[in-house]
Chain A
Amino acid sequence: MHILCVQGIRAGVGASTVVANLARILRELNQDVLVFDLNPSNLLRLHFNMDWQNSSGWALNICEQKSWHDAGFQCEQGVHFLPFGQINYKNHQVLMSNYISENWLSDTLNSLDLLDESWIILNVPSELNALNIQALNLSDIILRIFEPSVACLSQLINSMQSSYIHNDNSLSNKSYYLMNKLMPSSEIDYEMILIFNKVLSNKTIPVNIHFDENIKEAFAHQTTVTLHAPNSASAKEFRTIAIWLISYFKRRSKNYVSE
């Protein structure tokens, strides 16, 4: 299993969008993909054309004492996804304290009995809690999304100095950074790229996702940009990232074999 964690450095940098697009493209490339939404904002479902009124999801099912398996969907293109479900604050507290045990996530994923080659993409919110830390520890690679803003830079530097990820070598080794919402023709954005590249040295993915009307429109159509405007620049950028990810795992498995 290829477990990929996608996490925004801050909320609202577009991590869900990245997850949805990558999932669809990996599926286009004939990969088995399961998307697992761990974000209580429950936005990911909208990228997969799920009905606006439909509030179901794995977390809601657990709270309602139903099997979380029943919350699974499959979109037309063949991507399997588990929406979080619409739950209120109290239920969330109950969920976290009563149901999420220490190895809950790994047990859950193992119980699915997926093929070795299949991908699991975890949509992880930016704030840390017990579940998110499980996800980060479990993953093979962490994709951290940021935008070229001062707020992101500050958050990044803060997290580097103090937060969970950067105190843990195994976590920081497998985290890679991806820039989203780069505004063409914005001078400050291009300046920020230089600074980010310096701070992150070789941990950035060599593709930036530009700010593109197509992405916004795609979301409004409840789909991904790769379907909505397959020839747009951003669709191509997502494709490049997907190829990068595939080659990352190829490289990794090769290293395992050689060791």
Chain B
Amino acid sequence: MSANNPFYVKNKLSLDVVFLSIVFQSIIVEDWLVFKKHLFNDRSQFYGTLIGLIIFVFLLFFCHEPQRIKAAQTLKKSFPHINWARPTFADAIRFVIQAMWLGTIQTKNAYNTLFFYQKLLYRLKGIVSLPFNGAIKAIGMVLSKFERSSKYYHEEFEPYVYVLFLLLLGFICFTVPFNIPAQIIFVILAGVVSIIARAIVGHLSKLILITLALAVLTRYLWWRCTSTLNIDSHIDVFLGVILICAEIYTWFILLLSYFQIAWPLQRKTVPLPDDESLWPSVDIFIPTYNEKLDIVKITTLAALSIDWPEDKLNIFILDDGKRSSFQEFAEQVNVGYITRNNNFHGKAGNINHALMITKSDYVTILECDHIPVRSFLQLTMGCFLEDEQLALIQTSHHLYSPDPFERNISDFKKTLNEDNWFNGAVQEGSDLEHVSLFRGSGAILKRESLLEVGGIAVETVNEDEHTALRLHRNGYTSAYINVIQAARLTTATLAEHIGQLILRACGMAQIFRIDNPLLGKGLSIGQRLYYVNAMAHFLGGIPRLIFLLAPLGFLFFHSYLIHAPTVEILLYAIPAFVYSSIANSYQCLHGKQRYSFWNEIYQIVLAWYITLPTAVTLISPKGSVNVLATESLIKPGFLNPPFSRPYLFLVVLNLLAIAAAAYRFLFGSTDENTMVLIYFAWTTYNLLVLGGAINMMQEKKQVRMQHRIEVNTEVMLKKASGHLICAILEDYSGSGLGLRIDMQASTIEKNEKIQVLISRGEREFSFPARVTNVNKGFFEALFENLTLQQQLDYIQCTYSRSDAWVTWNQYSTHDNALSNIKTIIAFCFHGYIGLARSLPRFITKFFLLVGTSTVFIKTLLPKNINDNSIQYENV
């Protein structure tokens, strides 16, 4: 049966067949099916099912014992949420609902109709896209021939002609007014095209989607600007213009980011020449100020393990803390140690000072917690040899500990026990990091060029980007290599994370005031736009805040922000919203998926905190930047748990708006009702996003000092008794390991001294350790007195293996908006649960009541039976 079905969907069978097959042979059951089909038409199958069940119950009295037991088991499987041992009254309701569900919806017929449409859709897609694909090929062939044959072909005119033509076409597309049927047809056509586009493999589909999104969005904006302002009322015009400005700003940001991602340059690594004497010499700088030696130690040992000719690799610890323990360590492992008399300009000054002392051709800057793998230089340096103008290579920043956002989501994830959907979700969402090319660490710079622009820039708090800007101004190029060749820790707390972002944002604002990338020589249009994009992103919080407040304008003050009929609003706004989020989730930044909704929540969290300092800095760049930024870092109440006041305020406003909406719906004029519903939906969405933001801001504690990196490798243990057992290495850190053994076969005791054998390539290394913590099969072991050589071996076995981070993203999945909705709603709802916990007791009680009753109602809902064991196989 299933083989004929092209989608391999198991047909669900009606309940009576399942039960009757317990009593009868399959032949009789099949006869019953035929009989049922004849007697009842498709719509009244339910009665057939009912009669079949009654027959079954009647037959049950004459059955053998095993058949009765099997019937009881099947019953239990079909009604999994009912407590058969001690049924309550609610169970009776559950029984009736579930029986109706199984009898009607979850039967063969319902599924067949459902899949008929799906099948039709697939066929349709295939038919429509077939000539489309053919046409693309044909056009490509014709064009390539045409280009070759034409003699008077002026290449330099080509782009301008194209752009002019496109602008004209775009203008017509975006401004032609549609009446309502025309708009409906436009929306449907756009939908069909985007469905087809998704089926096309490769880059084209992304470009089509972006174009569609732009068309829909721009049309929406044009419509907003030309026909939705209520000119009769001054307040309406004022508020309406603010909203339109916010919308134009978001559109602008989207446009810029589309521009940036439309054609990502996936740079390939360039192989080095075979002759090692041609390989350039490299200095590795590890600047540190107040970090612990343990952290710097791992980075230094990993740097020592980099595969590069020994006489051409010089490692320096740049210690602004001037600590003797660091000097001792540097001497032990034979690396350079540089200090200076002052601490001017922080990290930038530190590196500039070291630049004066050292002399290799290239300089690698590694933040002290940024651990390189052994192939770090071999995969990157080839680019420099190939391209003379290249002055900067930035490697992909891989964060091996979850960042505060991710951690807050992931803790939630454990309670939901979902798959790895969150993996890298917010990582990608924090695209603010991705925007810049030089991110201060994990980068290689050409010394000559760096000295030419005066070393690392010290004028702004964002020295990395400013340096890159200067290099670009002097005609040098930069490269980004998207292979994880180094990994680092993230900030420990959300406050710290936001603090860092504020610094970056303020730094960017300073750059714009001091050394504006839009003005001055030396930059290409692409590079200028790129900086504008970075700046615009940091100010993106303002429109977001406006959107959160906009529905209040209507619901509180009865001001028509969008002065248009409801149908038109729906026809313009919903496609615009849907398309922008579809294209958003399609934005392929460096090959990874951006998770649209999480990004939305993330941006909401940042909106309040980043916007204000950035705007202030933009107005007075020399002023209180540092004070502002550092103050936010130090002030303990900055992000006081469980959530912060501005968002609480927004939540209260939106809740009031809901109440106002209810009031207007019930007591306002009836012709406004549809409009009220729209604003109600908007407010609900705002509340959802705010709930998510609040949940995300609830800081989760980080227990361990050194973050452990999760792996899954087989290792061996030598117990103190001399027995060797197999173990799975589940995580590691600089000081210890987390291992799992089969507890049935062997035991391990606390404080036992063991040897852990880890192999790397053909070699095997053993590390002495002591068991500290045993929890069933899992235990933790701390290293004991590793020699320096052993520490080096250990780093090589773990952090600096060249495949250490290769499998990191293997679980990251596409952002499937629909399948995530449940999770997202649950996530946002949890924000409010956290909120409710800290409210006065009587309100908490009320919330608890709502919560428990929701849970109770959920148990009444019917369940899908996916258990194959109760399916009747012979049909």
Real binding pair? yes
A residues near B, CB below 8 A?
A: 184-185, 190, 193, 197, 206, 208, 210-214, 229-234, 236
Q: How far is the CA of A229 from the CA of B726 in the complex (A)?
A: 11
Sampled A-B contacts (22; CB under 8 Å): A184-B724, A184-B766, A185-B718, A185-B755, A190-B763, A206-B762, A210-B757, A211-B724, A212-B722, A212-B724, A213-B721, A213-B722, A214-B724, A229-B745, A229-B746, A230-B745, A231-B725, A231-B726, A231-B745, A232-B725, A233-B717, A234-B724
Residue B716 at the chain A interface, CB threshold 8 Å: yes
Q: How far is the CA of A197 from the CA of B762 in the complex (A)?
A: 10
Q: How far is the CA of A234 from the CA of B717 in the complex (A)?
A: 11
Residue of B nearest to A231 (CB): B745
Fill in one digit per residue for B724-760: 1 if any A CB lies within 8 Å of its CB, else 0.
Answer: 1110000000000000001011100000000101000
Residue of A nearest to B742 (CB): A231
- 10 additional A-B pairs beyond A214-B723, A232-B724, beta carbons within 8 Å, are A190-B763, A190-B764, A210-B716, A213-B724, A230-B745, A231-B725, A232-B723, A233-B716, A233-B717, A233-B726
A38 CB, nearest partner CB in chain B, Å: 30
Residue B349 at the chain A interface, CB threshold 8 Å: no
The 4 tightest CB contacts between A and B, nearest first, are A231-B745, A213-B722, A233-B724, A212-B724
Knowing A184-B766, A185-B755, A185-B766 are in contact, say whether A212-B723 is a contact too (CB < 8 A).
yes
A203 CB, nearest partner CB in chain B, Å: 14
Pairwise interchain contact B723-A185, C-beta atoms closer than 8 A:
no
Knowing A231-B725, A231-B726 are in contact, say whether A184-B718 is a contact too (CB < 8 A).
yes
Pairwise interchain contact A236-B726, C-beta atoms closer than 8 A:
yes
B401 CB, nearest partner CB in chain A, Å: 31
Residue of A nearest to B762 (CB): A197
Pairwise interchain contact B721-A232, C-beta atoms closer than 8 A:
no
B595 CB, nearest partner CB in chain A, Å: 41
Q: Which residues of B contact A236 (CB under 8 A)?
A: 726
A240 CB, nearest partner CB in chain B, Å: 11
Residue B553 at the chain A interface, CB threshold 8 Å: no
Residue of A nearest to B744 (CB): A231
Residue B768 at the chain A interface, CB threshold 8 Å: yes
Q: Which residues of A contact B755 (CB under 8 A)?
A: 184-185
Q: Which residues of A contact B765 (CB under 8 A)?
A: 190
Q: Which residues of B contact A231 (CB under 8 A)?
A: 725-726, 742, 744-746
Q: Which residues of A contact B763 (CB under 8 A)?
A: 190, 193
Q: Which residues of B contact A213 (CB under 8 A)?
A: 721-724
Residue of B nearest to A194 (CB): B763
| Interface size, B (range) | 20 to 34
Fill in one digit per residue for B581-609: 1 if any A CB lies within 8 Å of its CB, else 0.
Answer: 00000000000000000000000000000
Q: How far is the CA of A190 from the CA of B765 in the complex (A)?
A: 8
Q: How far is the CA of A208 from the CA of B768 in the complex (A)?
A: 20
Q: How far is the CA of A206 from the CA of B746 in the complex (A)?
A: 26
Q: Which residues of A contact B722 (CB under 8 A)?
A: 212-213
Pairwise interchain contact A232-B766, C-beta atoms closer than 8 A:
no
Q: How far is the CA of A231 from the CA of B745 in the complex (A)?
A: 6
Q: How far is the CA of A231 from the CA of B742 in the complex (A)?
A: 8
Q: How far is the CA of A241 from the CA of B742 in the complex (A)?
A: 22
Q: Which residues of A contact B725 (CB under 8 A)?
A: 231-233
Q: How far is the CA of A232 from the CA of B746 in the complex (A)?
A: 8
Q: How far is the CA of A212 from the CA of B765 in the complex (A)?
A: 16
Q: How far is the CA of A184 from the CA of B782 in the complex (A)?
A: 18
Q: Which residues of A contact B742 (CB under 8 A)?
A: 231
Q: Which residues of B contact A233 (CB under 8 A)?
A: 716-717, 724-726
- Kindly identify which residue among B721, B726, B757, B762 contacts A184, using a CB–CB cutoff of 8 Å: B757
Q: How far is the CA of A17 from the CA of B548 in the complex (A)?
A: 75
Fill in one digit per residue for B756-781: 1 if any A CB lies within 8 Å of its CB, else 0.
Answer: 01000011111010000000000000
Q: Which residues of A contact B721 (CB under 8 A)?
A: 213
Q: Which residues of B contact A197 (CB under 8 A)?
A: 762
B279 CB, nearest partner CB in chain A, Å: 26
Residue of A nearest to B723 (CB): A213
Q: Which residues of B contact A190 (CB under 8 A)?
A: 763-765
Pairwise interchain contact A184-B716, C-beta atoms closer than 8 A:
yes
Residue of B nearest to A234 (CB): B724
B796 CB, nearest partner CB in chain A, Å: 14
B277 CB, nearest partner CB in chain A, Å: 27
Pairwise interchain contact B716-A185, C-beta atoms closer than 8 A:
no
Q: Which residues of B contact A229 (CB under 8 A)?
A: 723, 745-746
Q: How far is the CA of A154 from the CA of B764 in the complex (A)?
A: 24
- Kindly identify which residue among B726, B744, B757, B762 contacts A232, using a CB–CB cutoff of 8 Å: B726
B548 CB, nearest partner CB in chain A, Å: 58
Residue of B nearest to A185 (CB): B766
Residue of A nearest to B714 (CB): A236
Residue of B723, B724, B764, B766 ringed by the most chain A CB atoms within 10 A = B724
Residue of A nearest to B719 (CB): A213
Residue of B717, B744, B762 ringed by the most chain A CB atoms within 10 A = B762
Residue of B nearest to A230 (CB): B745
Q: How far is the CA of A193 from the CA of B764 in the complex (A)?
A: 10
A176 CB, nearest partner CB in chain B, Å: 16
Knowing A184-B716, A184-B757, A190-B763 are in contact, say whether A210-B746 is a contact too (CB < 8 A).
no
Q: How far is the CA of A208 from the CA of B726 in the complex (A)?
A: 14
Residue of A nearest to B727 (CB): A233
Q: How far is the CA of A191 from the CA of B723 in the complex (A)?
A: 22
Residue of B nearest to A233 (CB): B724
Q: Which residues of B contact A206 (CB under 8 A)?
A: 762
Q: How far is the CA of A232 from the CA of B722 in the complex (A)?
A: 11
Q: How far is the CA of A19 from the CA of B765 in the complex (A)?
A: 28
Q: How far is the CA of A226 from the CA of B671 in the complex (A)?
A: 83
Q: Which residues of B contact A230 (CB under 8 A)?
A: 745
Q: Which residues of A contact B718 (CB under 8 A)?
A: 184-185, 210
B824 CB, nearest partner CB in chain A, Å: 43
Q: Which residues of A contact B745 (CB under 8 A)?
A: 229-232
Q: Which residues of B contact A185 (CB under 8 A)?
A: 718, 755, 766, 768
B10 CB, nearest partner CB in chain A, Å: 34
Q: How far is the CA of A184 from the CA of B723 in the complex (A)?
A: 11
Q: Which residues of A contact B764 (CB under 8 A)?
A: 184, 190, 208
Q: How far is the CA of A211 from the CA of B718 in the complex (A)?
A: 10
Q: Which residues of B contact A210 (CB under 8 A)?
A: 716, 718, 724, 757
A189 CB, nearest partner CB in chain B, Å: 10
B724 CB, nearest partner CB in chain A, Å: 4
Q: How far is the CA of A185 from the CA of B723 in the complex (A)?
A: 13
A257 CB, nearest partner CB in chain B, Å: 32
Fill in one digit per residue for B694-717: 1 if any A CB lies within 8 Å of its CB, else 0.
Answer: 000000000000000000000011
Q: How far is the CA of A14 from the CA of B726 in the complex (A)?
A: 21
Q: How far is the CA of A234 from the CA of B766 in the complex (A)?
A: 16
Q: How far is the CA of A184 from the CA of B766 in the complex (A)?
A: 7
Q: How far is the CA of A197 from the CA of B765 in the complex (A)?
A: 16
Q: How far is the CA of A197 from the CA of B764 in the complex (A)?
A: 13
Residue of A nearest to B757 (CB): A184
Residue of B nearest to A225 (CB): B724
B726 CB, nearest partner CB in chain A, Å: 5
Q: Which residues of A contact B766 (CB under 8 A)?
A: 184-185
The A-contacting residues of B in range 466-518, CB under 8 angstroms, are none
Residue of A nearest to B741 (CB): A231
B59 CB, nearest partner CB in chain A, Å: 45
A14 CB, nearest partner CB in chain B, Å: 15
Q: How far is the CA of A214 from the CA of B718 in the complex (A)?
A: 11
Q: How far is the CA of A234 from the CA of B725 in the complex (A)?
A: 8
A217 CB, nearest partner CB in chain B, Å: 8
Q: How far is the CA of A139 from the CA of B838 in the complex (A)?
A: 79
Q: Which residues of A contact B744 (CB under 8 A)?
A: 231
Residue of B nearest to A214 (CB): B723
Q: How far is the CA of A211 from the CA of B724 in the complex (A)?
A: 8
Residue of A nearest to B722 (CB): A213
Q: How far is the CA of A211 from the CA of B745 in the complex (A)?
A: 19
Q: Which residues of A contact B768 (CB under 8 A)?
A: 185
A228 CB, nearest partner CB in chain B, Å: 11
Q: How far is the CA of A208 from the CA of B724 in the complex (A)?
A: 13
A82 CB, nearest partner CB in chain B, Å: 31
The A-contacting residues of B in range 624-650, CB under 8 angstroms, are none
Residue of A229, A233, A234 ringed by the most chain B CB atoms within 10 A = A233
